[in-house]
Structure 1
Amino acid sequence: MSEAAEVSKKNFYCRNCGSSILSDSEKCLFCGSYQLPGRIPFFKFLSESRLFRTTFFFPFSALISFALPITFALYPIPFLDWSWVLLISFFFFAFSIFGFVSEWIFLNKFKGDAKDFREGFFEWQKILYLRNPYLSYFGMFLFVCVPLLNWENHFSFAASSSAIWTLILVFLSKILIPLF
């Protein structure tokens, strides 16, 4: 009888943050992600899966960024300019980079090194600085225009930061540079 009770109370790992939780829990205590697929919509369940994000979604967006100019070179669209294709490609590539960076930042939060996204960012900066100070400067440059809010998930952070950098690039390439 006690063996059966111990089997039902075994721990397993959260599919989002990797922390150990009880097997009968439907939600992770640390990151708040649901563990059972029937409780929330399917796409939210996929977005809470770290394995899906790191092995499929963020690498797939990087592949799109490289495949888009190649596809446009092979099958040109007459009303679309090359600069717009490159800007869209830049958005997907920046989305991929910011997605992987947000994984590292949220991992600091889930490990308990930081209580929110802002502190996770500072911990990430410390790790970069300990590896190489120039990496830390590059990390600060990436986030010079991105607000350090308490982001809820990886997708909102990656989409907003890549959109901000793409809009800056659009402003420079389409408005400011043609003035000279």
Structure 2
Amino acid sequence: MSPSSLMDLPALRILEAHADALRAEALALPEALFVPMPSRERYTGTWRAVLLDVGPWGAEFPGVDIPHNRRLCPVATALLSRLPVASVAGYLRLDPGATLATHTDLREDDVLRAHVALVLPPEEATRWPIGRARLLDVRAPHGAKNPSEAPRLTFTVDLRVGRRVEVGELGEWG
């Protein structure tokens, strides 16, 4: 499976087919449901999430009530039941002016992170269309920023891709 064939994963088509419903669900969520992301030293500004799965990183999110979040996110929860979820899943919001510094994360060799663009700054949306899913190997250096006046909102899920992926094989973004 080449990097281009990784972008043909059925899970990505499922996510894209439901992007409008995911966006509507995310925009309707109560503000209080979004909790700060851990590793505060990695970002400036406000980076928050509504988490639906935390995999083995539950200790990093004390007090997050996954069953409660899943009840409030029926669209995303139903989609997750159809995907080869490996660990982390949820809505991520990077508020105006926030920056996530370039970093790497630990993950298994057969796991890639899918991001679906729900709300993006205009200059980013020209390169990444709203509703489009992209893959990221979080073991490679990555980061994010939101220079706009509105929140940057994505749906994110770590997926098992069915084979070992070499670090750097996917490029910056698939």
TM-score bin, normalised by smaller chain? under 0.3
Higher strand share: 2
Report which of the two structures shows the higher radius of gyration computed on alpha carbons: 1
What TM-score does the superposition give when structure 1 sets the normalisation length?
0.22
What TM-score does the superposition give when structure 2 sets the normalisation length?
0.22
Higher helix share: 1
